[in-house]
Structures are given as C-alpha cells and as structure tokens.
Structure 1
Amino acid sequence: MKLRIAALAVAAVSIVTATSACGSGTGDGASSGGSKATITWSMWSGDNESTKKLQEQMAAAQALVPDVKIELQTAPWADYFTKLNATMASGKLACITSMNGQRLSGYTAALTPLTDEDLKVAGIARTDYNPGALSVMEHGGKLYGLPYDTATMLLFYNADLFKKAGVEPPTNTWTIDQFEAAAKTITEKTGVKGFAVSLDEFQWLSLPMAKAGLQAVNEAGKLDLTNPAFVKAAEWYSGLVTGLKVSSAPPSASESAWDPGQFENGKAAMILDGTWNATRYTGKDMPFTGGAVRLPAGPAGPFGVALGSGYGIAANCANKQAALKVLGALAGPKTEAVIAKQGGYPAQLGSQPLFYDALPAETKDGLTTAFKAAFDGASAQRVTPEWEQITTAFPQELVSVYTGQKPMADMLGGLQQRFGK
C-alpha cells in the first residue's frame, strides 16, 4: 500500500509475467508436463527481507496444497499497480492477484466475486473475520477476495518528550482536546513540535475524520470532502501548522516520509501511523521510549477505520478450483500464523492472538490494549473509483495548505469538483 503497510515497498524487484497458465495465455492452469496445476500468486515486495517473508508464507500454503504448484511474482509497491493495469488490459492477470482494499473498487472487473460455495472450496468461513476486516475486500455488496491482514491507525508518542514537558502520556480514552493541549504544552516547554502532520492519505485524513466523526466518502460511496463538518475538522488539522504552530510544514510534496522522519529523529512528539508500524515505533531501536494508543476521540466519540489487503482470483483464471485451494491456503490459519510471527497483524480472528504472543515483553501489554481499543468498532475505509487519483493529488495540495498558500477549504473544494462525480 501507499500506506507504507508492512514496509514492503523499498527497492525494485522485477515482476515475472509469463510463468503461470493464468498469465501465459495457455489458459489451462496445468504445468508443461500436464501432471500438476500451476497457480501464480502476484504480490508487492520491495526488498530481500520482504520477499523472504512472502516465500515463508508461500511455503506454509504450499504444504497445504501438494497437488498445486504455487509460483510467486513480485513487484515493488510503486510499480505493482502500473504493471497490474498492463496485465489487466491484456487479460493475463495472475490467478491469485494481491489487492489493496482501498484500491479494490478500480479492479473489480478483473476479479471474480466469491460465492459462499467458493468459500467452502477454499475452506474459509465469513465468521473467521470481524466484519470490518472482511469488508475491505467487498464492493457493491460482493466479496472479491480474502484479506490476509487488517490494520487501522494509531497515535504514536515519544514518552521521553512527554516526561520532559511534564505532560501525562496519552491514553486510549484521550480526546482531541487533550491531544491539542498536550501538543501545545510540549511545543512550548521543550522547543520540539508536539505533532508532525502528514502528506499521506490515511496519516492525514484520520485525525480530521476522528474529529468530525465521519469519513471523507459518505455511506452512499460518494466523495464528501466538502461536508461542512469534515471541512471544519480538516481546517483545524492544517491549523496545527498555520495557527497553533505545534507542527512544521513539510518542505515539499516529495517528502512522503516526512512525519515518521520527524518522529524517529526526535523532532516531533506525536504522529499518526498504521498498526503495521507499531513494533517499529515502540521497539528498542528507537532513540527514545515510544508508545501507542488509539486515535483521540472527537465530540461524537471514538472513531476508526479498518484498512487492509487481500487476495482475489483473476476473472481470466482458467483453473478456478485450483486457485480457490491456493486462496484458502494463503488466507487460512496456517499462513496467518506465519504472518503473525513475522510481525504482521492477521485478518483472521483466530490468528490474532499469535501476533500478541510474539510481541516483546516490554511493549506487549501496551500494544495489545492499544490494538484492541483501536479496532473496536472500526468500520471499513470507504473510497471511490477515483481514489488513487485523489491520493496522488494530496501531497502537492497539502504542501500548499501547510505553507499558507491555499486555504484548506479551497483545496477540498477543488478536489471535490475534480473527482466528486
């Protein structure tokens, strides 16, 4: 994901395009010898460590389907969807195609909706997931894949800076008002900014959505950036830079890692980021004691969205039965257990305790409490078919807002006019 999910997109890994029957044009799903079906799994990966993790997951899945050969194709996140678009146009998607839930709406025509009978073949039940996790792979009332992970946003904080400023650290019952007060006090007493604003979609959207108590896309699936409540909350967010001065403005739209850089280098006391970075920001490698809590609540109470990615079956896949077996193996408990041990947060409810068990003793209790609070009541993040274009536009637009060149309301109105069909 552009969301920095699982840190899979760092360097280039070439994508193989002609190894599977689903992608080779033969259309039969069998190996050259005709004795065993071959199903290709396409996935994003940006470095050797990430690819090694995928290979470990594939090994767990392969053991469950000895009559099917699984082949892994990888591409870095930055290239994955570009290549996906090209193979989709040619009708040669890999049978098992990995899909970011927030981009699903643009690819449903290339994926096969899963029926209850399909789930039986895959050995998966809807009750294996909470509704928020499963909904990231749903669109228009249809299920287009099975999630392998689930995520939401957390507030991460530098406990050392809170102590230096004489401010009590955040809790899972914190409010927006308490967040603002802490950011102001830390900035005044330590000279370090209390918070780092972001250019990334969910990292910047989440706090205004929490304050407003609503998403940037309404329940009808329409872009709703000019909803008065959302505009007011977004103006408050940009005001952390332009008004309260508790955040610094990113110098350019290319600073996609601005907020984590500020946090990790001790230049900001708090940031918002995904659960996928929880062990990173609270780990021993940080130069300070890090902590995490759920998002501060707005007037309407706690608010959160469920994010995630999963695997779908390509509409052009000639061997759907074999693909369903592989899908079930990749998304099932055996492979989910591997993901948990690797530090990922599994989508299946039964595998999530394994994630907590694998946490370091010194952060286990705090992170367990934060995760459970953050996911409690979280609803699926809603997007529109134009969402990728919208998020691509965010960085440049936000820099103009943070530097005072453009009011937040004007930015939101412009995007609504461009993309709010």
Structure 2
Amino acid sequence: MAMRKWGSALTALVMTLGVGACSSGGSSDGKTTVVWNMWSGDTESEQKLKEQMAVAQAAVGADITIELRTAPWADFFTKLNANMASGKLACVTAMNGQRLTDYTAAFEPLTDADLTTMGISRADYNPGALSVMENDGKLYGLPYDTATMFLFYNADLFTKAGVTPPTNSWTIADFETAAKTITEKTGVKGFAVSLDEFQWLSLPMARAGKQPVNESGKLALTDPAFVDAATWYGDLVTGQKVSEAVPSASETGWEVTQFQNGKAAMIIDGTWQAATYTADELPFDGGAVRLPSGTAGPFGVALGSGYGIAKNCEDKDAALKVLGALAGRAGEDLIAKQGNHPAQTGSQEGYFASLPDGKREMLTAAFRAGFQGASAQRVTAEWTQVATAMPNELVTVYTGQGSMADALGNLQTKFGK
C-alpha cells in the first residue's frame, strides 16, 4: 500500500469496524443480540431483508435480538476482509458460493448435529444446492437460494427464421444449427458470446461434460476436451460468425444489451434473470430453457449464496438459531414469495406461483430441468483471480488476435498450481 493512501485506508478501516464489528453479545436484560451481515444495494432489497428478519425474529423468540447490518455488494467484501482480519465478523455472515474458498478460515463448519439442532436436513435441498456452501468436504453455511444457467431466447426471431424454439431436451448440435439459420435468414446474430464467468463457461462445460477445475481441485483449463469445447465457443465469433465480437474487456454484460435490444437471438445467463428476460415489457417474446446437452448428457453447475457462522462468534447456539430461522422453511417460503428461487425444494412451489401467469409453465419446466445433471461448482483458491483475468484473454480470441488455446494456457500458467 502506498504511503499516500494510508490515511484514507485507515479511516475506511475504522469506519468498517464500526459498521460490521460486534458479532454478538448479551445485555443487562439477559437477551442476546446476534448480528446478521448481508449485502444490499437499494431500498427494495433492504425492505426484503427486513421482512426476512421479521420472520426469523418471530422464530427465535424474544430472548434473541437479530440486528441486520448491510453494505452494497461493491463494498461488502472489502468490509468483510477488514472485519475478518480483526476477528470481528458478524455472527451470521452472508457468503457468495463462488467466493467461499477465500473465506473458509472465517467460518465455523456445520456438523450434522448442527443441522439437527436447526431442524434442517440435507434432504430438504435442491440437488447441488448445499454444494455452494461446501469446500473440501466441509459445510460452511446454509444456502438461501440456488441458481444455475439458462439459455434465454427471442422467440420472435426464431419464428422469423422458421426455426422451432428451443426445448429442455435441446443438444449443442440443435443450438448450433439454430444459431446459423437465424443469422443467415434474419441478418440478426443467432447468439451473443460473453466475457462474464459462467455466462461464457457454461456452453463449453456442457459440450465437454467437464468443468475447468478437475475433481482433485486443480485448475484444468488446458484439459484437451475443455480446450476443444472452448475453442468451439470462440469460433462462434471468428469462424461460424453467429455472434459479434465483444469490443473490449470492459464490456461485461455486453451480451445482455445485445439480447434486450433484439441484436442477438440467444444468450446464456443465470436463472436469477428468468423473470427479466421473459417479461411482457420486452419488445419481443422471451423464453428460457435449460442448457443444451453435450455428448455426455445434461451438464451444469449449481450456484448460489448462503449464510455461515463466524468462528469468532461468542454465542454459537444463538447464531445457530438465527441461521436456522433465516435459511429454514419459513424463511425460504418468504424468499420464494419475494421472487427468489429458494434452495429448499419444499419452498420452490411458492417461487413458481410468483412467476407471471403467461410464463409460469414454461419457466417452471425450465427450472425443474435446469438442475438435472448440475453438480457443485469446483473452484481453486485462485479462482477469483482467474475469473477477473478472463475478459482480457477472451477479447483477444473474439477479435481474432489470439487463439483460445493460448488464452487458456496463459491463465493456466499464471494461476495453476
């Protein structure tokens, strides 16, 4: 850290500790306060969290007071790092599954006895859902939502090209044929490639039937089958020309603009966008299906976020009660009604019921199919760095300045250990 930045950094640290410290504690009336730390970036999301807190508060009773503390997503992990370094994490702290490997030292692993104490069973969860809070065989928290990746499509462009819209039984070959036909017959690109992590990785993974991190937890970006599948993906721009090239590494979310503006017939994005990309407000009829299957059959990864208990928590029993209330059935039922896909299967019907009438049947079928063949996302300790470095490498491929094999090789050399 440069000396000229020290003063502002110290001030930020003090402010952070003031916001996020004090994980739990008693009071003169014998009650325990459990701090729950979660990200929130707007008034609507803050209100939803307050509603969830009210449900959890009713469940834990009057002897425990839940105190909600939030920070915007962009600041959340900066503050989390400061509180982690000082041993002042909130007793119940939110964690994104894709970042868990960087924070396992801060969380208390949950045992089967802990699950029993909370009245929760592993069988309560959507297939693959618990995996987002697992690392190296240990469970570090409970997920409150679960997600995977979908293929979203513009049904109007399919009709214009005379192509049957995608189905949940689509294959990679079906996808490729449709993308070519739409491009040729409508003048609109059949697909929009991406720079973002799972938005671009999903089709190569589905085609290869494997992840870029192997079962031993080692970075495997240069696995021949994965390189072949990723090369095929890049060729959608440079060879088959069914997608435009992303113009620069700063254009994250580029494919979203392409899709919503009617400049691409298909994109890959997360299930959290299901209602947005099929909304009546769009200038076209939007649809969604599970990822196309490769030769190995349905393949995908389970994603999501959850809550864990900090190792520095002074009252683990109280924290377990709060965690169980937030991530238990009543909390999950509320999350479903609020429009998020819950991790517990018993609450998912409530989510489907919240979907728009005209899209409910289609989206329900896509969700149920989407998790078939989905497995735990595997990451390395350096995965966040890998994902951050990906856009620069991908742009060289899309713009024809380099090969996908070289791009993946550069990432493997830099971050593979």
- Work out the CA distance in 1 between the residues paired with 2:19 and 2:367: 40
Partner residue of 2:95?
99
- Letter in structure 2 aligned against 1:348: Q
> Residue type matched to 1:362 in 2?
G
Cα deviations across residues 80-133 of structure 1 (Å, max 9, x unaligned)?
A: 222211111111111111111111111111100011221122221212114411
1:418 partnered with 2:414: yes
Aligned residues with identical type, % of pairs:
70
How many angstroms apart in 2 are the aligned matches of 1:378 and 1:340? 21
Q: Which residue of 1 aligns with 2:36?
A: 41
Counterpart mapping for 1:117-128 below 5 A? 117-128=113-124
Q: Does 1:398 align with 2:402?
A: no
State the partner residue of 1:9. none
User: Where in structure 2 are the equivalents of 1:91-240 lying within 5 Å?
Assistant: 91-240=87-236
Q: Does 1:339 align with 2:335?
A: yes
* CA gap 1:164/1:131 in 2 versus in 1, 3 angstroms: closer
Query: How far apart, in 2, do the equivalents of 1:300 and 1:86 lie?
Result: 44
Structure 1 position 56, deviation (Å): 1.4
Equivalent of residue 308 in structure 2, options 308, 312, 315: 312
Deviations 1:14-60 (A, max 9, x none): x964367xx23xx76224x3532111111112111111111111111
**TM-score, L = length of structure 2:** 0.94
CA distance in 2 between counterparts of 1:289 and 1:16 reads: 45
Is the 8 Å Cα contact of residues 112 and 144 (structure 1) preserved in structure 2?
Answer: yes
CA displacement at 1:324 relative to structure 2: 0.4
2:199–2:269 CA contact under 8 A, matched in 1: yes
Q: Which amino acid aligns with 1:359?
A: L
Q: What whole-Å deviation, never above 9, does each CA across 1:346-367 have from its counterpart, x for those lacking one? A: 0011111111111111111111
Letter in 1 for 2:53: M
Aligned to 1:69: 65
Distance, in Å, in 1 between the alignment partners of 2:282 and 2:32 is: 46
Shift of 1:377: 2.6
Partners of 1:19 and 1:40 within 8 A in 2: no
Q: Give the direction of change, closer, same or farther, for the CA distance of 1:367–1:28 in structure 2 (3 Å limit).
A: closer
Runs of 5+ consecutive residues of structure 1 not aligned to the other structure: 1-14
Matching residue's letter, 1:101: G
Q: Give the Cα separation in 1 of the matches to 2:47 and 2:407.
A: 42
Aligned-residue Cα RMSD (Å) equals 1.4
Look up the equivalent residue of 1:104 and give its one-letter code: L
Match of 2:241 in 1: 245
Which residue number corresponds to residue 52 of structure 1? Answer: 47
- CA distance in 2 between counterparts of 1:16 and 1:79 reads 10
Letter paired with 2:261: N
TM-score (norm 1): 0.93
Instruction: Tell me if 1:86 matches 2:78.
Output: no
| 1:379 matched residue in structure 2 | 375
- What SS does structure 1 have at the residue aligned with 2:276? helix
User: Deviations along 1:185-238, whole A, 9 cap, x unmatched?
Assistant: 111111111111111101000000000010011111111000000000000001
Number of the residue aligned with 2:10 = none
**Cα separation, 2, equivalents of 1:18 and 1:228:** 50
- In structure 1, what residue type is equivalent to 2:193? V
Aligned partners of 1:185, 1:131: CA distance in 2, in Å?
35
Q: Aligned in 2, Cα 1:357/1:28: closer, same or farther, shift over 3 Å? A: closer
Letter in 2 for 1:306: A
CA distance in 1, matches of 2:268, 2:236: 14
- Alpha carbons of structure 1 residues 404 and 383: separation in structure 2 relative to 1, 3 Å: same
2:16, 2:79 within 8 Å by CA — same for their partners in 1?
A: no
Q: Is the 8 A contact 1:16 1:73 kept in 2?
A: no
> Which string of whole-angstrom CA distances, capped at 9 and with x for unpartnered residues, describes residues 119-165 of structure 1?
12222121211441111111111110001000000000000011011
Question: In the alignment, what sits opposite 1:12?
Answer: none
Correspondence for 2:18: 18
Tell me whether 105-114 or 119-128 shows the greater mean CA deviation: 119-128
Query: Any idea what SS the aligned residue of 2:37 has?
Result: strand
Answer yes or no: is the 8 Å Cα contact 2:189–2:244 preserved in 1: yes
State how many pairs are aligned.
402
Question: Paired residue for 1:6?
Answer: none
4+ runs deviating over 4 angstroms: none
Partners of 2:325 and 2:24 in 1: how far apart? Answer: 21
Q: Which residue of 2 aligns with 1:10?
A: none
Tell me if the contact between 1:203 and 1:273 (Cα under 8 Å) persists in the aligned partners: yes
Give the AA of the match of 2:342.
Answer: P
Q: Which moved more, 1:206-215 or 1:360-369?
A: 360-369
Residue 406 of structure 1 and its aligned partner are, at CA, apart by: 1.6
Partner Cα distance (1:411, 1:340) in 2: 40
8 Å CA contact retained: 1:58, 1:70:
yes
